[in-house]
Structure 1
Amino acid sequence: MSRFIAFFALVGLIGFALPRSAASQDWQLTDANTFAPANYLILTIPQDEPQALAALADTLAADFGVSLAAEWSLNALEVHCFVFDARNVSDVDGLITAMETDARIRTVQRLRSFSLTEMFHSDPLLPLQWALQSMRVLPIHASSLGEGVRVGIVDSAIDNHHPDLADQMVDLFDFVAADPVPLAEAHGTAVAGIIGAAATNEGIVGVAPSADMVGLRACWQQDGAPGVCNSFSLARAINFAILNDIDVLNLSIGGPEDPLLTELINVALEAGIVVVAASGEGQELVYPASLDGVIAAGQVAGRSVPAPMVDVLTTAPGSAHRYVSGSSIATAHVSGVVALMLSQDPTLTSAAISERLNGSISDVETLPMLNACTAILGPSEACAL
């Protein structure tokens, strides 16, 4: 049986204590889950006899153009509560201001919405994944895990035997070696883990753990050295992505401008593929993140989508885990968020996705950071950083 830990605060309108002066009184109650939070107001009134409270409710409703939706008594505060339906009021803020000056009313506030703060996954390394917390990814997992989205990872070889990745890699293709041999390389394995590591095992959790990942090996690593790719291998990998229903193309690479790759990436964009590329480690975007239409990920101020890229825990060859850094890692985070977005709304265009991502950036400990929750759900209390 899967386990989870939940810390939560519940506000319920159906749990109540009756005033001492009217123990048998049946107050008007309504199911709490039928209220639209932004359009209902909670008023507290000094406790009184039921008949007096009923008369006051009618008077307040008439005076302010609202209707009584529910009422209950809070003996702990020695107050009575009215919930008024203000959906027909055009200026709710003005209404609240007017109520605040009314001597009959002790307090007035909007009905607010809260969420369960829950670890949806039992993976033991999840508490170490600060990146998912800082981007507010976990609240999205209640409604989307990236189902139905194919993410092409143009990178070095991915360890598809890793417990976090074995069921996540739907296919692997090698555009480096004519006669591929089973191997696993560090960079590709790290990127894949961030994008879509399984959420139901003993390791970490990916940003989009139900996305279908396709490994497109176009780079290679030798003796632990940084990965190398070239126009030949990259062109073949991107060509494959265009022809084989890839939805999101992760390019955690950077290098000189390349006419052939530019042409292919433009065709990929025209085909509706969302292309995410690494911004580089300097102050200017590197190629291909610098191309129009490509979503740049990293920390280039004002020109890339900021995402976690320092000391991020992810998968490593041989069933291991390690900490990694760099704009390649930011790229993987953004690609995962794009997969979540497309799973929620497959009609989103690359331009619309880019606009949402860039409009969902908040400061986290003075650094700008993508808020994945806001990008998908829009501004809400559940998405607050």
Structure 2
Amino acid sequence: MIWRWFFALSAVPLLFATGTAPAKNVATRVDATDAVRPAQVLVMLRLPPLHLRGGATYSGSYGDAASQAARRRIANGIARKYGMRVAESWPMPLLGVDCLALDLPPGLSVDGAIALLSRDKAVLWAQPVQTYEGRGAPATSDPLYLAQPSASAWRLSTLHSYATGRGVRVAVIDSKIELTHPDLAGQFSVDADFVGGRVPLAERHGTGVAGVIAAKADNGIGVAGVAPAARLMALRACWESTSGTRPTLCSTLSLAKAIEYAIDHDAQIINLSLSGPPDPLLDKLIDVALTRGISVVAAYDGAALKGGFPASKPGVIAVTDESLPAWPATVYGAPGRDIPTTEPGGKWYIVNGSSYAAAHVAGLIALARERRSGARMRIALKPNGRIIDACATLVSTSPSCDCECAIRRAQQARGKS
């Protein structure tokens, strides 16, 4: 039972060419492949109580050799009992579970395996390994700044005179980002891979999303990100398919690993420019993030039931391309059409889709968090619609005091405090 999470990505290249932490591969198997492999299910086992564990911090393994061996025996015993094989085991202490990916034997369906495993007293729950795609598509002082819709619609240069997202930690859970791109180099605090396998080349979707959020400003090239002083966490949980349309895919397990990593490493914002079916494991992890005050931003999929998951989840900030004719009252509209952004190879290109609308909002929240640390996030809207008013999200505007006026007053008030 394979589902897809859709990244809204379209892109047409622009004819421009031009220190981060070392890459960390924290996965143990290759998910990024279109090759045929055995059907799988995910199985959650309860972790031993905290006082029985060798360590409670996040990692790919925990405890001493004896406890790890005991966990392997339990996992292998469950797999053998049903004729399955343990493909991967990953502890998730934030949820108090050990997550197993089990390969199914020929002839056993995913639904049949879940029914079998769900009756086992050792199993908390079993679920499909679901697949997700990005919600984006290539479209037919910074040279491209004036081409950015946010430059005029959001008055980006005015916003940057007030806030740049300095020091705010934004987890970009996506495909492989080109960390050495001239508009992105130095913007990252973390580079971690939850897909595994060979070290991949940089991929378009993740690189483009990162550029919208935090491309350098005033460096004389390319574009300016919404939050150019934010610190990005490049968390690869997705990969480019080898199909002709090059969709960007993710799995339940790779996303779960990345989300838990982001939570455990103090991300303040998690950007999920993707959409797919509801998923119990991801749902529980997002609940943990929201409980800890992390802003979770997701792309809305107009073709999916309720806009797709995680955009449909209460508490998640769901965002769509504001140029669409209509969308639900629970969804915010942001720039998502004809967006210039970063492309692998030190280039730039034009993209469309709610993936990039979501990235705009992740950047805007970074600006707000810089100025209102710990405050409840409030997104202001323009009159008669659900389109975001970026300036009013940061400062109090009025008919008699526009964005420039409100920013100036806020700066003066800050100087007096």
TM-score normalised according to structure 2 size: 0.58
Q: CA deviation at 1:169?
A: 1.8
> Secondary structure of the residue that 2:297 maps to in structure 1?
strand
Identify the residue that residue 326 of structure 1 maps to in structure 2.
Answer: 353
Tell me which of the two structures has the higher relative contact order, counting C-alpha pairs closer than 8 angstroms and 6 or more residues apart.
Answer: 2
1:297 maps onto 2:297 in alignment: no
Distance (whole Å) between structure 1 residues aligned to residue 212 and residue 265 of structure 2: 23
Q: CA deviation at 1:369?
A: 2.6
Q: Render the CA deviation track for 1:339-384: whole Å, top value 9, x for unaligned.
A: 00000111223xxx2xx31x32347xxx753111111112143328
1:285 maps onto 2:312 in alignment: no
Identify the residue that residue 41 of structure 2 maps to in structure 1.
Answer: none
Structure 1 unaligned residues grouped into runs of 5+: 1-121
1:249 maps onto 2:270 in alignment: yes
Match of 2:402 among 379, 382, 385: 382
Distance (whole Å) between structure 2 residues aligned to residue 287 and residue 137 of structure 1: 30
- Give matches, 1:1-385, under 5 Å: 122-178=141-197, 181-201=199-219, 202-223=221-242, 225-282=246-303, 284-298=306-320, 299=322, 300-349=327-376, 353=377, 356-357=378-379, 359-362=380-383, 369-380=387-398, 381-383=401-403
Q: Render the CA deviation track for 1:144-172: whole Å, top value 9, x for unaligned.
A: 10002000001001011110111112221
> Secondary structure of the residue that 2:165 maps to in structure 1?
coil
Q: CA deviation at 1:183?
A: 1.9
Distance (whole Å) between structure 1 residues aligned to residue 299 and residue 241 of structure 2: 22
Structure 2 unaligned residues grouped into runs of 5+: 1-140, 405-417
Distance (whole Å) between structure 2 residues aligned to residue 339 and residue 278 of structure 1: 17
Distance (whole Å) between structure 2 residues aligned to residue 200 and residue 328 of structure 1: 25
Q: CA deviation at 1:303?
A: 1.8
> Secondary structure of the residue that 2:365 maps to in structure 1?
helix
Distance (whole Å) between structure 2 residues aligned to residue 271 and residue 331 of structure 1: 21
The answer (yes or no) to whether the contact 1:308–1:369 under 8 Å persists in 2 is: no
Q: Percent identity between the aligned chains?
A: 43
Distance (whole Å) between structure 2 residues aligned to residue 342 and residue 372 of structure 1: 13
Q: Which amino acid aligns with 1:297?
A: V
Q: CA deviation at 1:137?
A: 2.8
The answer (yes or no) to whether the contact 1:306–1:361 under 8 Å persists in 2 is: no
Q: Which amino acid aligns with 2:279?
A: D
Distance (whole Å) between structure 1 residues aligned to residue 155 and residue 284 of structure 2: 35
The answer (yes or no) to whether the contact 1:151–1:249 under 8 Å persists in 2 is: yes
Q: Which amino acid aligns with 1:257?
A: P
Distance (whole Å) between structure 1 residues aligned to residue 227 and residue 254 of structure 2: 27
> Secondary structure of the residue that 2:150 maps to in structure 1?
helix
Distance (whole Å) between structure 2 residues aligned to residue 208 and residue 196 of structure 1: 5
Distance (whole Å) between structure 2 residues aligned to residue 281 and residue 172 of structure 1: 31
Distance (whole Å) between structure 1 residues aligned to residue 169 and residue 143 of structure 2: 27
The answer (yes or no) to whether the contact 2:329–2:386 under 8 Å persists in 1 is: no
> Number of matched residues?
254
TM-score normalised according to structure 1 size: 0.63
> Secondary structure of the residue that 2:189 maps to in structure 1?
strand
> Secondary structure of the residue that 2:275 maps to in structure 1?
coil
The answer (yes or no) to whether the contact 2:175–2:236 under 8 Å persists in 1 is: yes
The answer (yes or no) to whether the contact 1:251–1:275 under 8 Å persists in 2 is: yes
The answer (yes or no) to whether the contact 2:392–2:403 under 8 Å persists in 1 is: yes
Q: Render the CA deviation track for 1:66-110: whole Å, top value 9, x for unaligned.
A: xxxxxxxxxxxxxxxxxxxxxxxxxxxxxxxxxxxxxxxxxxxxx
